[in-house]
Structure 1
């Protein structure tokens, strides 16, 4: 019974925190994206590659920061990454390599895109 009460109180406090006016919306968005970022097998990402909705993020970038910039439409930052080839469509060669390696990649969805990053 004590665990249930504790869980309820913890949930109540979390809800109050999320509804607070003092939270920075950017920090909240980054936290949300961080929770939605996970490792996923290339096999499960192939259909997004085939549909042209997969973007590769360079290993030296923070995938959550990239997802956040895309989600808030930070055009200047995203254009810089595109021009520097730190963000862009997954090439056929890269897709083939990931397929052959049966790679697991970090991924996060920022509609309509699925961002992927190989940190191996």
Structure 2
């Protein structure tokens, strides 16, 4: 599943502009699978809902250009659909060859039913 958003307004005026980016309504995330989210100004992201907890990573494999959302989730790992490299969804660390470089992870948070990430 791919969710394309250009902008979802934040109602929280206390946060500095640009530190929190809205991704999608929490109901759009498929449990135990990857949901690809494309938001202006960020690389494609993979959103995961595992055992009731949200995780957000880069969607592009660090070994090739494959979308990790097209891969297979097993436990807390995502397997790349191209070469079977694996990554820990919680930490971004590569856990199976040929993937050796980690993928970027993002800090998820929910505001008014919208899943977003903290961006430095």
Structure holding more helix per residue = 1
Structure holding more strand per residue = 2
Structure with max Cα Rg: 1
Relative contact order, higher structure (CA 8 A, sep 6+): 1
Name the TM-score, length of structure 2 as normaliser.
0.28
Name the TM-score, length of structure 1 as normaliser.
0.28
